[in-house]
Structure 1
């Protein structure tokens, strides 16, 4: 498919994991892609791997000057901006909730929630011209209780922000949607051996997600296939929101296993 032929996308936190997979997927479907991240060398490698249709830039989403410069660079290089993928964020509060300081709360919200808002604000005039759209990577943490309270609050804030942007700018043809991943196999888990295997048992589909699972969902929502979808959250989470295995009795019964011996 070439759903993004002639279009330009900006992806934040694109040096690895979900962001890199999204950048590659959009480029594979014809987009010119501006890949941004704090990790300059890694983001340059991702852009080089995509080819001439990609530009790698350093971007700190907690800096409005950085965000404005990245959006301006995208338009200067490729002439327009059609899609923004807000992927930057992370769980940066290490305190237990009762001990989290106001400073820690501010840092978490500034990175994950306000950072996404900065990118939307800077890109919005260009998205109005192209009738473009924004896809923000939130989390199942914004939809249900999975711990990490400060991070979860920031992710829930992204969802509320997106609904309001969708209502406000729909008449101008700009769409805003959310992808809410479950656990995804990214380099963030590399120093926690065995964790993903343990988590996979919680998922009804029997595995954690891959970055490409999220990239496919982003490509759908950013494309004209989703032209009449705005203000929505698409969970991509292997069924964990139906009730995590190991915490609820959702294992198929013995009689079901007899009919399907492969289970």
Structure 2
């Protein structure tokens, strides 16, 4: 595998499993060092054991706490001397009420977890990224690009794209890039409690399957690498064609 991250240090949030763990593995496989953060210390320790303590550092972090984010960034720089890449992967759909009934505190909880946490991670990492002329990749969702339900979550994901564009415009002259990857349905442990759901959802995708965490990791690795040196402010959908809509699926079914 090419070594696009040789000599570089990446901090990945929500890295204990699923997309975050796949991103950490991909960056490490391409020669990078990974600071993996999450609330699940045991799974982080397993990941570091897999990658090697010389290639990875585990830091338990609640991304809704600015103090814990700052501490993780400081630990990364203290241990490895620099920070080149931030991957904002933390987030999730945590509101279960009908949108017409969602109280303000639930809106705030969703926005804090998915949007505000990403902003705070960027703020904390930015001084080091300015020094290294590094970049940020934020994991959003197709929910931020089209109407797939989960209104509060979708609004937070759409906010990530707008935030990214504005950071990209502001800090482009300083050499720091900001991009977004917007996944469709991905096979992660979140679906384990819903047997059969992924198979049902796969029928909505022209490519005929749900995505794998490695599909997203490949896109992140591209955008975070020098191969994407002239790309900033982009939202890259990685979604098996679901955004093509039902008409495209009907056409595919006729072949």
Q: TM-score, normalising length from structure 2?
A: 0.97
Residues 181 and 219, structure 2, Cα contact 8 Å, conserved in 1? yes
1-structure distance, mates of 2:226, 2:87: 15
Residues 141 and 181, structure 2, Cα contact 8 Å, conserved in 1? yes
Q: 1:131 maps to what in 2?
A: 133
Residues 24 and 36, structure 2, Cα contact 8 Å, conserved in 1? yes
| Cα offsets for 1:125-165 (capped at 9, x unmatched) | 00000000000000000000000000000000000000000
| Cα offsets for 1:194-222 (capped at 9, x unmatched) | 00000000000000000000000000000
Q: How does 1:1-263 map to 2 (within 5 A)?
A: 1-51=2-52, 52-244=54-246, 249-253=250-254, 257=255
Which runs of 4 or more aligned residues in structure 1 lie more than 2 Å from their structure 2 counterparts after TM superposition?
247-253
2-structure distance, mates of 1:157, 1:142: 8
Residues 14 and 37, structure 2, Cα contact 8 Å, conserved in 1? yes
Residues 44 and 57, structure 1, Cα contact 8 Å, conserved in 2? no
1-structure distance, mates of 2:35, 2:246: 37
Structure number with greater Rg is 1
Gaps of 5+ in 1: 258-263
Using a 3 Å threshold, how does the CA distance of structure 1 residues 244 and 38 change in structure 2: closer, same or farther?
farther
1-structure distance, mates of 2:250, 2:86: 40
SS of residue paired to 2:3 = coil
Question: What is the total number of aligned residue pairs between the two structures?
Answer: 253
Gaps of 5+ in 2: none
